[in-house]
Amino acid sequence: MDTADVVVVGLGAVGSATLHRLALKGVRAVGLDRFNPPHAHGSTHGGSRITRLAVAEGDAYVPLVRRSHEIWRELEEETGETLLREIGLLMIGEGDGAPSHGRPGFLGATIDVARRHAIAHEILDSAELRRRFPQFCVRDADRGFFEPTAGVVFPEAGVAAQLRLARSHGAVVRPNEAVLSIEPHGDGVLVTTDKGNIAAGRVVLTAGAWLPGLAGGIMADKVHVHRQALFWFEPDQPKLYDPVACPAFIWMHGATEADYLYGFPLLHGEPGVKVGTEHYAGHAEPDRIDRTIGKEEVRTLYDGHVEGRLLGLSRRLGKSATCLYAVTPDAGFIIDRLREDGTVLAASCCSGHGFKHSPALGEAVAAAALAPAHALAPEFSLARFGAVMPA
């Protein structure tokens, strides 16, 4: 039987960061993933993710994303990789904007957070939006929020960098190994996989869309998985979508959560302008996801969100992809112990806005895994859903 101080299950955004931080502390850590990370089966892929300091999801997230920006820069210094580009973020909406990520009036809430935390930003009226960002066909009633130090982080590169560093500090990475069960074992846990057993003092579950099935109980009840689609459309006017001229963007163009569009300019190596929306209808099984994107799905996205809004963006599809959101009822994170003895810790940090926080979350989760009495943020506790931990 193999042994470890801590086993990390799932090596996406938060799992890879957690394993890296554990290895830096000299912990005997083993990281398991049912695939070979970085991979395109879960949530941590697609070439790009938005990062922003003015996080309307709540004040508790601001220190996390600020610390994450510091860590990205530290990782860049150590690896020579480009992991964060501050190309800015433009958010567009009418009034306070539509609801998003569990917050009503997402644009107004973003502005409020920026003001409370002294985050550099500009508020732009429709005339100024048209002058500075002509690729966005805004309405007279629209206004914009521009955050210059926001931008894009690169998920596959971030995961790969942190796993390389984790290995260099002694962590063991075991890809293509599925966890079958996690049971109490002496003072710790027994992790049974399709390749054997590992006796460990602690286990950290960062398995994303597979977390509800692994953890069961209230996690299975409160964390639901939703399929998302990503599209890269070829521009007829590429200069409009050069990162020098075009920031990352979020556009709330209607009154409901479905009237939502986000995207990125033409990033190096990508075949088009990446565009996506967010879908929360129905629940998905992560091992039974339809990975194909048909012509009707492309047409629906383009007609409902792109046409008449993004100037010079053609219907020609460079590529498409699917990813998974693991979403809680309030669109907040879950970072909590699943047993009173602290031997099992779960971190579900998605709900569509987790990657930007992942380096700082990995740092915090690693600290909590090593100290059962370590305080966890109450905002991310399962207690808010009425959960009671088993002894």
Sign of the torsion angle spanned by Cα atoms 158, 83, 336, 186: positive
Please give the mean pLDDT across all residues of the chain. Answer: 96
CATH of 2-45+155-222+330-385, one of 3.60.20.30, 2.40.70.10, 3.50.50.60, 3.30.379.10: 3.50.50.60
pTM over 0.95: yes
Q: Under the phi-then-psi rule, with left for phi > 0, alpha for psi from -120 to 50, and beta for the rest, what region is 101?
A: left
State the DSSP code for 136: B
Give the mean pLDDT of 31-51.
97
Give the mean pLDDT of 316-344.
94
- What pLDDT is recorded for position 282? 82
CATH of 87-150+224-327, one of 3.40.109.10, 3.30.70.120, 3.30.9.10, 3.40.50.40: 3.30.9.10
> Which segment of 138-147, 151-160, 219-228 scores lowest on mean pLDDT?
219-228
CB 209 within 8 A of CB 322: no
CB 50 within 8 A of CB 262: yes
CB 65 within 8 A of CB 360: yes
pLDDT digits (tens, 9 = 90+) for 82-133: 999 999 999 999 999 999 998 999 999 999 999 999 999 999 999 999 999 9
- What pLDDT is recorded for position 391? 54
Q: Which two tokens stand for residue 258?
A: 């479905």
CA 292 distance to own-chain centroid: 22
One-letter amino acid for residue 86 of the chain? E
- What pLDDT is recorded for position 389? 61
Band of pLDDT at residue 373, cut at 50, 70 and 90: confident
- What pLDDT is recorded for position 390? 61
Q: Using alpha carbons, select from 112, 138, 113, 114 the residue that is nearest to residue 127.
A: 138
Q: How far apart are CA 200 and CA 29, in angstroms?
A: 9
Helix or strand holding residue 145 (H, E):
strand 142-147
Q: Is the pLDDT of residue 338 over 80?
A: yes
Q: Could you tell me the residue ranges of all domains in the chain?
A: 2-45+155-222+330-385, 87-150+224-327
